[in-house]
Structure 1
Amino acid sequence: MSTPRIEAALARATEASHRGPHPAPPGGHPRTRHVAIGDPQADITRFFAVLDRHGLLGPEGWLLPEVQLVSVGDHFDWGRAQEREEVATSAVKLIAWMAAHPADQAVLLLGNHDLGRVGELVDFTDARFAAAQVEADRIYQGDDTDEARERDFLTRYPEVPNVELVARDFGTFREVQRAWVADLLRARRFRVAHAAAEHLLVLHAGVTREDLGALGLPESLSAHAPSVADALNRALDTSVAAWKQGPFSIPGLHHPGNAAYGEGRGIFYQRPSLRPEDAAWHAITPRRRFNPHRLPLGLIQVVGHTRDKRSRELLALTHGQARDGVLRSLVTDGTTLDYRHSAPPPTGPGEAVLVFTDGSMRESPLEAFELFDLDTREPARPRGDALQKGQG
């Protein structure tokens, strides 16, 4: 899986992580290739292998100058318990490498795992988290978790909503990650959303008409990606400026979880669902489930956060098989819904679209993992090694 470009990128990532948070400003170089990559919850070597396969890496270990890469968020947490230390280090190197690029070349979008470092886990030290994790590992048994033991655990760790968050969901937390996330928030390198075109928005989990209403955005602008991105990013920046201590939140849009509140809610957590048992969430903001028929018409949203298997469960689909790696699309006119393995078909102002990019990077065969070309609105075409040599 290694190439000289990958080895160079690994060296640049290590150097960047050792320097500490040092985000680069915009570079002003023309970018002619614009690509979105789904949740990079995989070892950094695999992340670079995906980029290299698509001809995005240069010989010095950085993105090629003409490339803009948009990461849809969730840069932390994957793997088995015995891999936690390695995973924690890998994730820091990944965001350090991204942040070392000019801000207009490597776009870092926030996911719920990123915000968890300054949310549910904001007051944990490494030592206290390690102690909590020893307990959580003993208690957490999936659906068979002992509720009485979990309640006892939460009396001592009320900052978290359940033992699963410590044992599994945010299980590779380290204090250094929190420092990176906080610095990148304050430097405005972590963003909520990126407008790739007039009606093309990239963000972690998607927004509905209710979410945009909570922002105070006029309905007439709900399909205008630059206006939506600007409103979301201004809400983030306002909250960051006001944040001095305690869990970070964005009023009306993002609320981290805890023992009293339950699991975190909002635009970084929510997923589309048509299951009857999730209907109660639909009218609430922030929330964990939304009605896909309430997506803003005329807007294409490129998202991560939800893999194919989970999408099928929540949308109550009974046909087809879940696949890793592939792009997927959901198209609705507010009444009907079409979900398929592919980039979206041509759509108009009367339809809302989600493009799902979370292809299970860690589990997917490398050759099956697709990136989304924001220019062609199709899967990005892998480029052969001969062409890459010609580029650098």
Structure 2
Amino acid sequence: MNEALLQKALARADAAVAKGPHATPAEGRHRTRHVVMGDPQADFDRVLTLLALHGLLGSDGGLRPDVCLVSVGDHFDWGPASERDRVARSGLRLVAWLASHPADQAVLLLGNHDLGRVGELADFTDATFRAAQVEADQLYAGDDTDAAAERDFIARWPALPTVELAARDFSTWREEQRAWVEHLLRARRFRVAHAAGDSLLVLHAGVTREDLDVVGLEPGRWAEAGAVAEALNGVMDRAVAAWTGGPLVLPGLHHPGNAASGEGMGIFYQRPSLQTEDTERVRGTPRRRFDPRRLPLGLTQVVGHTRDKRVRELVSPGPVRDGVLRHLVTDGTRVDYAHGPPPETGAGEAVMVFTDGAMREGRAEDFELFDLDARRAVPLDGR
């Protein structure tokens, strides 16, 4: 990436951070290129490099005027414990940089890591979170974490469902990030879903027929992306309007975790699974697993959240590749999963396009962005 362009983009981000939480309103300009970016859990420099490689950055360090970029969420939390401060700053720069663009040029969708700022960690301060994290770091050992010690930990910190959440999952949380997320929620800049076409929906992890039934959308409209987005965003907007403190809950859609109820549940956490051991987990809502055969027929959902490795483990064994777009197609009975953009499908099929390609791993040139207009990967030269 051109160093001068990188410095302009970084300066724009730093100016946005310094200004404090804010959001630029839509300007009503026609955009001719509509692109989805999978989970941007990577250094801000890396995100900018990817956008530049695909011809999406303008000479001023922002997005080109003809571009509408949709970020599928999870703008925070990655990397080792030794880099937490740098990573925390990087995630904040990214969110501020995106929010500095007009709302019709940069669409910010919520992921579970974004909601964690106002969910599980809503009542923490920087000082109390650091105290909890010091303890968590001493205890956390992956699958070998001592169960008795973990029970004692969450008894002391009842807002947390696990040691892992403080030590790894939401490990770069900061109060300043929470302030930004809250502002962008109240400004209706952070959204649950974005309708990119008549039957083309973008959101973090996907919804099933059960999820749409929960929000009261009649079955005859489940293939209408606009109606689905309106219903999902409506639940969030009403919840935010009524929210006066504590963890933000989106009734039926998102329940943050805690010591009493366990891990967070809902549409920002859930992943597809056909595993026998998940048979009970996919029933009802909210949940952390869903049966892909229950996706709404006629609707194409573009999602992040789930990498190829996890889909291979939960749905369809096969070779794993990072960076590439992937798709799942079902008619309610069969489930087909493969690398590459989605094929042509009919009204009797549901489609899911996966865009989380592990952004911080591998070569930047190998990471694919999704062109919502052409329904394929964006060429590296942007043409």
Compute the TM-score of the two structures, normalised by the length of structure 1.
0.97
Whole-Å separation in 2 of the counterparts to 1:311 and 1:63? 32
Structure 2: which 5+ runs fail to align?
Answer: none
Q: What is the root-mean-square deviation of aligned Cα atoms in Å? A: 0.9
> 317, 329, 332: which one pairs with 2:330?
332
Tell me the CA shift for residue 28 of structure 1.
1.0
Whole-Å separation in 2 of the counterparts to 1:193 and 1:240? 15
Q: Which residue of 1 aligns with 2:114?
A: 114
Q: Which residue of 1 aligns with 2:58?
A: 58
Q: Which residue of 2 aligns with 1:272?
A: 272
Local SS of the residue matching 1:338: strand
Structure 1: which 5+ runs fail to align?
Answer: 388-392
TM alignment of 1:280-295, pairs within 5 A: 280-295=280-295
> Number of matched residues?
383
CA contact (8 A) 2:22 2:180 kept: no
CA-to-partner distance for each residue in 1:83-141, whole Å, 9 max, x for gaps? 00000001111000000100010000000000000000000110111111111011010
CA contact (8 A) 1:6 1:48 kept: yes
TM alignment of 1:115-154, pairs within 5 A: 115-154=115-154
Matched, 1:33 2:33: yes
Whole-Å separation in 1 of the counterparts to 2:281 and 2:351? 21
Tell me the CA shift for residue 5 of structure 1.
2.0
Q: Which residue of 1 aligns with 2:14?
A: 14
Matched, 1:157 2:157: yes
Tell me the CA shift for residue 22 of structure 1.
1.4
Provide runs of 4+ in structure 1 moved above 6 Å.
none
Tell me the CA shift for residue 2 of structure 1.
4.6
Local SS of the residue matching 2:352: strand
> Aligned residues: percent identity?
66
Mean Cα displacement is larger for which, 1-10 or 85-94?
1-10
TM alignment of 1:214-225, pairs within 5 A: 214-225=214-225
Give, as a single letter, the amino acid of the residue that structure 1 aligns with 2:249: S
Q: Which residue of 2 aligns with 1:256?
A: 256
Tell me the CA shift for residue 282 of structure 1.
1.8
Local SS of the residue matching 2:195: strand
Compute the TM-score of the two structures, normalised by the length of structure 2.
0.99
Q: Which residue of 1 aligns with 2:372?
A: 374
Whole-Å separation in 1 of the counterparts to 2:366 and 2:313? 22
Tell me the CA shift for residue 4 of structure 1.
2.4
Whole-Å separation in 1 of the counterparts to 2:363 and 2:354? 17
Whole-Å separation in 1 of the counterparts to 2:3 and 2:334? 46
Q: Which residue of 2 aligns with 1:105?
A: 105
Whole-Å separation in 1 of the counterparts to 2:234 and 2:101? 23
Q: Which residue of 2 aligns with 1:390?
A: none
Local SS of the residue matching 1:280: coil
TM alignment of 1:309-348, pairs within 5 A: 309-315=309-315, 317-318=316-317, 320-348=318-346
CA contact (8 A) 1:4 1:59 kept: no
CA-to-partner distance for each residue in 1:136-174, whole Å, 9 max, x for gaps? 011010110001110110111010110000000000000
Whole-Å separation in 2 of the counterparts to 1:382 and 1:20? 34
CA-to-partner distance for each residue in 1:303-359, whole Å, 9 max, x for gaps? 0000110111111x33x3111100000000000011001011001100001000000
Give, as a single letter, the amino acid of the residue that structure 1 aligns with 2:370: F
Tell me the CA shift for residue 196 of structure 1.
0.3
